[in-house]
Structure 1
Amino acid sequence: MIFEDLGLEKCLLKGVKDMGYQEPTPIQREAIPLGLEGRDIVGCAQTGTGKTAAFILPILQRLQKGGGIKALVVTPTRELALQIDEVARSCSRYSGHRSMAVFGGVGYTPQAKKLRKGVELLVATPGRLLDLQRHGDVNLGKVEILVLDEADRMLDMGFWPDVRRIINLLPEQRQNLLFSATMSPKVLSVIGSALTRPARIEVERSATPVDTVDQSVFPVSSMQKTELLVELIRKRDLDKVLVFTRTKYRADRLCRNIKRKGIKAAPIHSNLSQSQRQRTLDGFKKGNIRILVATDIVARGIDVVNISHVINYDMPSDAEVYVHRIGRTARAGASGTAISFMSPEELSELSSVEGLIGSTLRCEDMEDFVYAHRVIPSPEREAKKISRMVYNGGAKSGRRRRRPRRPAAARA
């Protein structure tokens, strides 16, 4: 199948061609025709599978130019907002649609002034959008299409009350598109009432890593992680590497330590200003920064091409975060490598990851590296796949739960 088979207009196809897309990805093949029909969609696809273009393209085709904001994309982070807006601008290069991203951490007034010039597609983080609405600088009364991107992430970050306030500001008659790399039962339960007979799209299983990522684990003591990382970078000549730590403090400390070894590295986390984070990402993209040390603020949505390796310096406490981390490599069909450092204290985290992905990770050793105390997972271990929720349209279970009887003293 090619993009011409999906029913897209020539102006959009021209933009797609300029972006270098050869043929639609599975999520694009499924979502674009449904989006063009005006269907509500619940889409679950891994990061790096082209899901942003899967909702941006049908939105642009359905939007009339002028007349205010007709489509709203709500997303949890500034980085995601910028990425989505970049895709929208590229796709709309020949259609004449105007898009814009608004988010916190930067000046309010420039965004308000730009909004007054008029846009049809607005990409926003929840907090800044509500600020603009409260000050009368944005009108959501004409929105025809709502996209909630990375809904699980918004729930995890505590944005859901804000999202509900935003939904209440919109016209009741609209198209709703819900996209995420994972789809938890909790998200589906809270958003189900806003959807009208949604089409369910799940190109890959929830929280399943892409097949082109080579995954392995290095058992190592906590005290030797930095030394092992430096050895890996030097001996395997690693370049354009994304390293994940558990905390901002650990990211800063790790950066300082590996920079002392002559390796160009920089941290990125929420303590940095938006301009600092953007400069760091630009330097990483251009190759001026060899190693980017990050917290999970960039585990989703940062679209940096040609990342050769993702290294989990710390195993994530949430197994699903592992999937989002390693999704930074092997994007759009490319191959990549994910390495996890596992200290003895992190054996349970490894078990959770393996249970989620349904397979065990290959154990590796660094050649000529002298290891201290460590725990090597049993080669006979098994991974038990965790069951997942599939959207059922909000139907209730046929069996009613019996209300527990209160103690006699409580009834008195």
Structure 2
Amino acid sequence: MKNRGKKVIIETNLPEKWQQRWQEQGFQEPSVIQDKVFQPLAAGESLVGISPTGSGKTLAYLLPVLQQITPKDGNQLLILTSSQELGIQVTEVAKIWAKDLDLTVQPLIGGANVKRQIEKLKAKPEVLVGTPGRVVELMKQKKIKVHQLKTVIFDEADQLFLPGTSELVEEIIKRFSTPLQYAFFSATAEQALPAIEKVVPGIPVIDATKEDRSKGEVHHYYLMYPNRRLVDALRRFAYVEDFQGLVFFNQLQDLGSAEEKLLFHQLRVASLASDQTKELRKLALDLFKQGKIVELLTTDVAARGIDIFELPYVINTEVPLTKESYLHRSGRVGRMGATGNVITIVQENTLPKLKKMARTLDITIEEIFLHGGALHTEQPEKEEFVEHKLEKEPVKSTRKVPTVTQEKPKKKIKKRTKAQKNKGARKRKE
């Protein structure tokens, strides 16, 4: 029965152009969340959608909602995203599917040129994708036709309702005078339910977490490594065969320091940080997706919504501050059936915290070893350890080299006559 329902969505509920695009994108059948929310959203109902990272939540709301939009009829759909990176990515996906329906998608993301965005709003785009701060700014200037909006999507809802952002979200909601369709999506949206209930009392929750099988095989490891030699560990990772990793830091200043040292060693790394311009962040992400960068250094700014096809590794340079942070970082691998690895660098004093976090998240975590330019699940024998040939920094020998002490040559003593010896004494008397 369930399979038949999924078949119906593809064969009868999608336009012919979309059915072709669905096949071109390599999709076989909808994910659980896509299947469960399609009919309610298509009918204009409000809901909360919860499903694991990488389970296709973006298409889960785009496919039913885009079909309800009337072309050339002004601003009708607003998608709020929790970060600039997520906003850029949602915009890219929305443009692909909206184009087939003759719809225009306009990003309203902070960090971009606001005058250019205002100019493009004059063309009355049907779909708006924005970050809360920029959306509030444009609403105050009356550049967004609020009265025309029919649907508002909150992507990564739990982040949007955190202190600092929730005030902006509440200000946006207050500007809606007519009843709208609201949809809230996240892997951990249950945290935001109290705040969501204030917006839409009694809103139905659709949780696909237990049923979802889209998650690929993800292995969780920890690497014991001295904190003072963190950059050395990242250098070694870069030489592991077929390695490409999203490297997470808890603090922005630690990221900057590590990037500077890695670039000094001429490694193909870049950073994705909150203090960069939108253009620099997009460039770094594009280069990483193209495989031109082996390590992309970032903070939790990239932990949500970033979709990198078949990314093999996520590296935590230290234990994440919260279990939610670990969950969303890990969600960058194993997306839509792909396999991946999550490696957290720890020391003896931080390992207990990681293991406790793993128990809370119900994941199995085991030790991994980084030796000889490769990763091992078993500790290699000492004789197996060989420094990787590409590492330029020589290994200092631990052997004690005996110091050779040379005897100083004896000075030749000249024999002097008694008269010569007393010569100086005679001069002093004179």
Fold in common (TM above 0.5): yes
Letter in structure 1 aligned against 2:70 = Q
8 Å Cα contact 1:304-1:328 kept in structure 2: yes
Letter in structure 2 aligned against 1:24 = P
8 Å Cα contact 1:319-1:349 kept in structure 2: no
Q: Could you tell me how far 1:211 is from its partner in structure 2? A: 4.9
Alignment partner for residue 284 of structure 1, among 264, 280, 288? 288
CA shift digits 1:39-77 (9 cap, x unpaired): 211111222111000001111111122222111111121
1:16 partner SS: helix
Q: What is the aligned length?
A: 367
Alignment partner for residue 110 of structure 2, among 104, 108, 113? 104
Letter in structure 1 aligned against 2:196 = I
Matched, 1:216 2:213: no
8 Å Cα contact 1:6-1:33 kept in structure 2: no
CA shift digits 1:343-391 (9 cap, x unpaired): 234235314421331234112223469xxxxxxxxxxxxxxxxxxxxxx
Q: Tell me which residue corresponds to 1:399.
A: none
Alignment partner for residue 235 of structure 2, among 225, 230, 239? 230
Q: Tell me which residue corresponds to 1:297.
A: 301
Q: Tell me which residue corresponds to 1:331.
A: 335
8 Å Cα contact 2:214-2:336 kept in structure 1: no
Q: Could you tell me how far 1:210 is from its partner in structure 2? A: 3.9
8 Å Cα contact 1:7-1:33 kept in structure 2: no
The separation in 1 between residues aligned to 2:22 and 2:120, in whole angstroms, is 26
Q: Tell me which residue corresponds to 1:189.
A: 194
Q: Tell me which residue corresponds to 1:55.
A: 61
Q: In the superposition, relative to structure 1, how do residues 13 and 195 fare at CA in structure 2: closer, same or farther (>3 Å)?
A: farther
Matches for 1:194-213 after TM superposition, within 5 Å: 194-195=199-200, 197-204=202-209, 210-213=215-218
Q: Tell me which residue corresponds to 1:270.
A: 274
2:146 partner SS: coil
Alignment partner for residue 129 of structure 2, among 123, 126, 132? 123
1:141 partner SS: helix
Alignment partner for residue 41 of structure 1, among 43, 47, 50? 47
Q: Could you tell me how far 1:219 is from its partner in structure 2? A: 2.2
Q: In the superposition, relative to structure 1, how do residues 196 and 317 fare at CA in structure 2: closer, same or farther (>3 Å)?
A: closer
Letter in structure 2 aligned against 1:313 = T
Segment of structure 1 superposing worse, 252-261 or 114-123: 252-261
Task: State, as a whole percentage, how many aligned pairs show the same letter.
Answer: 27
Letter in structure 2 aligned against 1:362 = E
The separation in 2 between residues aligned to 1:268 and 1:209, in whole angstroms, is 27
Matched, 1:78 2:92: no
Question: Rg larger in 1 or in 2?
Answer: 2
Segment of structure 1 superposing worse, 87-96 or 48-57: 87-96
Q: Could you tell me how far 1:115 is from its partner in structure 2? A: 0.7
Where do 5+ consecutive residues of structure 2 fail to align? Answer: 1-5, 374-430
Alignment partner for residue 314 of structure 1, among 304, 315, 318? 318
Segment of structure 1 superposing worse, 265-274 or 209-218: 209-218
Q: Tell me which residue corresponds to 1:378.
A: none
1:287 partner SS: coil
Q: In the superposition, relative to structure 1, how do residues 110 and 124 fare at CA in structure 2: closer, same or farther (>3 Å)?
A: same
The separation in 2 between residues aligned to 1:18 and 1:95, in whole angstroms, is 17
Q: Could you tell me how far 1:263 is from its partner in structure 2? A: 2.1
Matched, 1:28 2:1: no
TM-score, normalised to structure 1, is 0.83
